[in-house]
Structure formats: C-alpha cells, structure tokens
C-alpha cells in the first residue's frame, strides 16, 4: 500500500477547498460528531424538505481524511431522499471497511477516492466520522416522519 | 576505565534485548511512542513464561511447593518495586491494573472516606484523563468541588503562583502529574508537596511518565500517594502500582471485595486482611507482578541514572532538531532539564494524524491525537498534537531518521496544501 493510494488528489482538493463548509444559520438540525480517538470534530447542519435533504453544510477541523470525507458527503447527499442516502451510506461504509468485492463506481462516483482508506485500518474512523453521524440522523428523521404518518 | 564504561549506555547491546526489533515484519522499526507503552525485553518475557511453564499456581493459598514458589516470586516482585521507589516497606506497594486503577482506588478508598461536602480537590490543567475523571466523579458523589491549577501555554509550566492562589482552607487533596504526557513538563513535585504539606494537604503523584525515565524516591519526595503503570516501564500490561504511606492505607477502605483481601468472613460482617493484601481482592495478576519485578531488575541492571542521562541527551537533541524545522511548533518547556521523555509538536498545515500515517509508511511509530489530555489541547488551541517519546533503546540516529522523514512529509503535503 502506497501513501498515494490514501492521499488522492481529489481528497487533497476537498481538504484545501472544502465544499459546503460553514454554518447554515437557518438549519433545521445541528448535530455534532466527535472522534474520541484523535479529537477531530465535525458539525453537520441540515435543512429538510420532507423526506429529503434540501441543504447540508459542515463545520469542523481535522485530518485530510475526515475533512475531505465530510466535504464529499455534503456534495453527495444534498437533494437526495432518506432512502437514497441510506443506500449510499451503506455502500460507502462497506467500501471503507474493505467489505466490498467490487466497488460500484456509478453509485459512489467521487467517493471512490476514499477507497484507499480500507488499506489503512487506523484511519477508518476518520473517514466514517461524519457518515456514522448522518446515518443516525437519517434513522431519526425517518422515525419522526413515520410518526407523523408522512411516509411509509 | 570501568567507571566510564558504566556511565555510557551500549544501546546496540540493549536493542538486542528487545525481540520486537528483530522481528522480520518490523524491519528497521523506529519506535517513538514509549509514553504510550514501551517494548519488553527478553528478560521480562522469559520470566513471565517461566512462571506459567515451571511453577504456575495460585498465590497465598496452596499448601504445595509450586504455590509457595509462586507466592514467593510475586511477593519478591513487590519487594523489588518497594526498593525501586524507596518505599519504607513492601506493605505500601499495592498491585493494581495500572495507573488508572490506582487513581480510581485512591478516589474511592480514600476520597469517599475523607472528602466532605464543600471540600476542594485540586488538580492541574495538564493532567491525563485518568487523573481528572475519577476526581470529577468523586466530587459529584461527595458534593465537593474540583479546582484546576493552570499552566502557561507558552512554556508548558505550571503557573508559579498557582499553588498559593489555589490552595484554600477547603483543599483536601492535590493530585498532579510528575511528568506531563502531553507537554513533557517535569513538575517540581518535591517543592510542591512540601508547600502542600505545610497546609496539611494530602498529595497524590501520577508518576506514570516519570518512573520509567528517572529515579523516583517516595520518601525524598514525601509523596502521600503515588501511582504508575508497569507497561511503560518495560513490564507487562495489566499490572501497575498504587503506593501510599502505610498510615493512609490503614485508614483507607478497600475497594475490591472478595477472596484474599479478607481476614474473617461471617454471615453479615467481614474484617480485612493485612496490608498490602487488604487491597488485592481476587486472584491477582501473578504473571504481571512477576514480569514487572523482572522489568525492575532490568532497569536496575542498566541503572536508572544512566537511562535518565541517555534519554536527556535524546530529548535535548530532539528539541533542537525539531525547533530547526520550519513550520514546526514544539510545546512544553524547551529546557531539557525541565522536559521529560515525551516531546509534543505540530507541523504547520499538516494534521498530526496525517503525519503519523505518513511516518508509519517509513516504519516510524509516533503518537498523534489528544494524548488523553483534552483540556491541555483546548488550552493550546489545537485539536491534536504529534508526539515522539523515548525509551532506553532509542538513538540519536533514529531521531535523525525521524527528522528526515518529517521534512519529506512536509514536502509531500505542501505540494497540495
């Protein structure tokens, strides 16, 4: 495993020029994620449109992997439905953990740039920090909407 | 001639004692994470193995030869540790799992008994989480207060006036680290204990980062309680020491109840065994204790003064070299006489975690993160630092290797960032 497998150009670009970074002041939801292992912190700000993420921003500081990962996350889930997001999270997490036999490049698109993480087990937590948080958020949103009888 | 030979360390010979450096997968390993845990020499590994292979039995129970042999070996290890820190008696040496369990034992066994509502526990801002959280929990249980003695973020030293300002008539206990794992600062604990004792305040010293690197004499320091872990002293994991003066141990309640720690058990009441066994409920970590005894023999055979002198050279060299790298910021005192064997730093624009992964590709093991000292990181205004820390087997050449790799990492990441 070469170091360049981990630090791909796309990731460096997202680290240097993060997308959707900065607070969303009219956010419906603000969640914090913390990696107790390294102290990295990420905040996700979300605006809902029913069962869809209308807008998502992040605030945080940390290593290349955690910051590029959350920047890519925001680009990838904006405008998507809860079901679509759950599917991406599952696929992405499996790729990071090295559980995918074949990576679906159509589905994961730019997120494939993080596939090298699977070869660096100490960095898996960095890559999944924001994604694990979003997973809980999506589950809670679904439960909330189901409670109101809007979906399902 | 013989004296000269004794005073210098033959590192090549010492490295041969540590099989990890010969293991093929670890080809040319530069291990600079000794503040987290050290490697173990063959002498320790063999002593542990010998117990299991040759005389494995439970201690303090059996009436047969191997039980007696195991008991003697375990208690002999306790004697060795008592001599290492110059305790008055091995009754003052309680075996625990590590420094964390030792501080929890103090907080429960001493704190629950002697800390009253509105009392104050004073700790410093540079403590490891293990010397923060047990006191947070204690003050909640006892309706007491936790106070912090600040350090100066410019030089990593405790505020010189802090003790005078922070000590009050309500202060019951001062718990502080001898050497900071996150900043490297060596605190003048002897003077601090003296000042605290003048106010009749009990002092606990966290010696996890000092015991492996310098002579520590509990009588000279006059420490009331002192804790450390075996695995940072070339011993096994899962064994450590809670030292306290005998009168304190006598006054304390045990915190683990069960076999071996009792004298007499009735249906509804029990009485406690003598020191030190009053605090050691259940079958102890026998192999761990014996292994730690072997580790003490190992460092004694080299000489703690010599180890300390060797590591001071490494620290001085590392501080100089690191400060010479553009974009590096070194934390803690810059004077090697005030700096223990751990050196924390950050590299401009490169996150410590990325740096550690990069160095790992060059087989250089360093620590990155908050070092279980989040309040220190908050004070320094960084989420994390990188840290190199030394042991008896490290060399100047390894620091050179690390510095070259650090320069390369800087170049690699500066391409992008």
Preferred mutation among B346, B357, B364, B368 to probe A, highest tally of A CBs within 10 A: B357
Mean pLDDT of B137-141: 98
* Residue in A closest to B383 by C-alpha: A39
The pLDDT value given to residue A3 = 86
The verdict on residue A152 lying in a domain is no
The verdict on residue A80 lying in a domain is yes
Confidence of residue A1 (pLDDT cuts 50, 70, 90): low
Q: Within a 10 A sphere around the Cβ of B303, how many other Cβ atoms? A: 15
Mind listing the pLDDT tens digit for each residue in A53-77?
A: 999 999 998 899 999 999 999 999 9
Q: Look at residue A61 and give its three-state secondary structure.
A: strand
Q: In the predicted model, is pLDDT for residue A152 greater than 50?
A: no
**Nearest CB to A39; choose among B357, B377, B412:** B377
**Do B100 and B140 fall within a single domain?**
yes
The verdict on residue A106 lying in a domain is yes
Give the rounded percent of residues in chain B with a pLDDT score beyond 90.
90
Residue B79 lies in domain: 46-300
The pLDDT value given to residue A123 = 92
Q: Does A43 touch chain B (CB under 8 A)?
A: no
Q: A152 vs A29, which has greater pLDDT? A: A29
Contact A123 B357 (CB under 8 A): yes
Q: Does A72 touch chain B (CB under 8 A)?
A: no
Tokens (6 digits) for A119: 């070869």
Mean pLDDT of B215-229: 98
Residue A132 lies in domain: 3-140
| B174: β partners | B122, B203
Preferred mutation among A39, A59, A114, A118 to probe B, highest tally of B CBs within 10 A: A39
Of B266, B300, B334, the residue at which a domain comes to its end is B300
Mind listing the pLDDT tens digit for each residue in B269-314?
A: 999 999 999 999 999 999 999 999 999 999 999 999 999 999 999 9
* Residue in B closest to A121 by C-alpha: B357
Of B283, B300, B317, the residue at which a domain comes to its end is B300
Contact B416 A7 (CB under 8 A): yes
Q: In the predicted model, is pLDDT for residue B88 greater than 90?
A: yes
Mean pLDDT of B85-101: 98
Confidence of residue A149 (pLDDT cuts 50, 70, 90): low
Contacts of B95 (CB under 8 A, 6+ apart): B78, B239, B240, B241, B242, B276, B280, B284, B285, B288, B289
Question: d(Cα A43, Cα B281) in Å, to the nearest integer?
Answer: 45
**Nearest CB to B369; choose among A37, A61, A65:** A37
CATH code at position B384: 3.90.1150.10
Confidence of residue A150 (pLDDT cuts 50, 70, 90): low
**Do B296 and B362 fall within a single domain?**
no
Torsion angle, alpha carbons of A111, A113, A118, A122, to 10: -100
The verdict on residue A118 lying in a domain is yes
**Do B313 and B276 fall within a single domain?**
no
Mind listing the pLDDT tens digit for each residue in A95-120?
A: 999 999 899 888 899 999 999 999 99
Confidence of residue B5 (pLDDT cuts 50, 70, 90): very low
Contact A120 B369 (CB under 8 A): no
B-chain residues near A6 (CB < 8 A): 357
**Do B290 and B320 fall within a single domain?**
no
Domains: count for chain B: 2
Please tell me the pTM assigned to this model: 0.93
Of B253, B271, B300, the residue at which a domain comes to its end is B300
**Do B328 and B225 fall within a single domain?**
no
CATH code at position A54: 3.90.1010.10
Mean pLDDT of B251-277: 93
CATH code at position B136: 3.40.640.10
Give the rounded percent of residues in chain B with a pLDDT score beyond 70.
98
Task: Tell me what ipTM this predicted complex has.
Answer: 0.86
Mind listing the pLDDT tens digit for each residue in A13-29?
A: 999 999 999 999 999 99
């Amino acid at each position: 495993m070469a170091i360049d497998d981990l630090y791909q150009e796309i990731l460096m670009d997202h680290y240097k020029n993060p997308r959707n970074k900065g607070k969303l002041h009219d956010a419906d939801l603000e969640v914090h994620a913390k990696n107790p292992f390294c102290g990295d912190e990420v905040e996700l700000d979300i605006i809902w449109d029913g069962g869809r993420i209308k807008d998502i921003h992040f605030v945080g500081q940390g290593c290349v992997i955690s910051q590029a990962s959350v920047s890519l996350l925001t680009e990838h889930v904006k405008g998507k439905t809860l079901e679509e997001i759950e599917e991406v999270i599952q696929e992405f997490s499996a790729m990071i953990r090295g559980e995918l036999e074949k990576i679906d490049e159509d589905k994961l698109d730019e997120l494939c740039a993080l596939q090298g993480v699977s070869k660096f087990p100490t960095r898996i937590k960095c890559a999944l920090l924001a994604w694990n948080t979003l997973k809980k958020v999506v589950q809670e949103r679904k439960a909330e909407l189901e409670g109101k009888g809007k979906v399902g | 001639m013989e004296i000269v030979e004794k005073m210098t360390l033959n590192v090549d010979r010492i490295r041969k004692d540590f099989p990890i450096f010969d293991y093929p997968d670890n080809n040319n390993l530069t291990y600079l994470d000794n503040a987290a845990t050290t490697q173990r020499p063959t002498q320790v590994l063999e002593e542990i193995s010998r117990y299991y292979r040759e005389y494995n039995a439970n201690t303090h129970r059996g009436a047969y030869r191997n039980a007696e042999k195991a008991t003697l070996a375990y208690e002999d290890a306790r004697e060795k540790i008592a001599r290492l820190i110059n305790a008055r008696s091995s009754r003052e040496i309680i075996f625990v799992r590590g420094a964390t369990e030792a501080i929890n034992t103090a907080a429960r066994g001493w704190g629950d008994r002697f800390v009253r509502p509105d009392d104050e526990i004073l700790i410093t801002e540079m403590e490891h989480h293990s010397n923060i959280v047990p006191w947070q929990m204690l003050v909640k249980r006892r309706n007491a207060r936790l106070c912090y003695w600040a350090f100066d973020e410019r030089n990593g030293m405790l505020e010189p006036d802090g003790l005078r300002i922070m000590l009050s008539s309500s202060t019951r206990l001062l718990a502080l680290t001898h050497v900071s794992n996150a900043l490297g600062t060596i605190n003048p604990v002897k003077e601090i204990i003296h000042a605290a004792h003048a106010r009749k305040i009990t002092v606990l010293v966290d010696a996890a980062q000092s015991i492996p690197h310098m002579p520590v004499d509990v009588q000279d320091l006059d420490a009331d309680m002192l804790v450390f872990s075996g695995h940072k002293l070339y011993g096994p994991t899962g064994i450590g020491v809670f030292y306290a003066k005998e009168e304190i141990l006598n006054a304390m309640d045990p915190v683990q109840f069960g076999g071996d720690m009792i004298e007499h058990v009735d249906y509804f009441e029990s009485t406690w065994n003598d020191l030190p066994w009053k605090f050691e409920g259940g079958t102890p970590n026998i192999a761990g204790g014996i292994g730690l005894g072997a580790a003490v023999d190992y460092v004694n055979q080299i000489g703690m003064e010599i180890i300390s002198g060797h590591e001071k050279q490494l620290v001085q060299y590392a501080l100089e070299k690191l400060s010479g790298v553009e974009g590096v910021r070194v934390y803690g005192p810059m004077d090697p006489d005030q700096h223990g064997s751990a050196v924390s730093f950050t590299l401009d624009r490169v996150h410590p975690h990325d740096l550690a992964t990069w160095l790992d590709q060059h087989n250089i093991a360093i620590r990155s993160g908050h070092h279980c000292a989040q309040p220190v990181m908050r004070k320094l205004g960084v989420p994390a630092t990188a840290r190199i820390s030394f042991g008896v087997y490290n060399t100047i050449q390894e620091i050179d290797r690390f510095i070259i790799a650090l320069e390369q990492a800087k170049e690699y990441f500066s391409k992008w960032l």
